[in-house]
Amino acid sequence: MENQVKTVRRQAGWTQQQLSDATGITRQTVILIEKGTYNPSLHLCLEICYALDRTLDDLFWIEKERRTDEKNYR
């Protein structure tokens, strides 16, 4: 799942460990989310948004055209 978590986390000056502490998940889970290999639950997405003071759209929105293109390549 493509997202902006890593970019926004870095802009906020946070480490992966700080984000994991703020959301109650492991640093390894943060790594997987940032890589796009782990699809977090809606609840976890919201926790990340609250921690980084951003919206779901800021962190997890994918344009429909991009999503469609990605499906066509799989």
Cβ atoms < 10 Å from Cβ of 49: 19
Confidence of residue 72 (pLDDT cuts 50, 70, 90): low
CB under 8 Å to 56, separation ≥6 — which residues? 45, 46, 49
CB 34 within 8 A of CB 3: yes
Average pLDDT, the chain: 91
> Could you tell me how far CA 50 lies from the centroid of its own chain?
12
Name the percent of the chain lying above pLDDT 70: 86
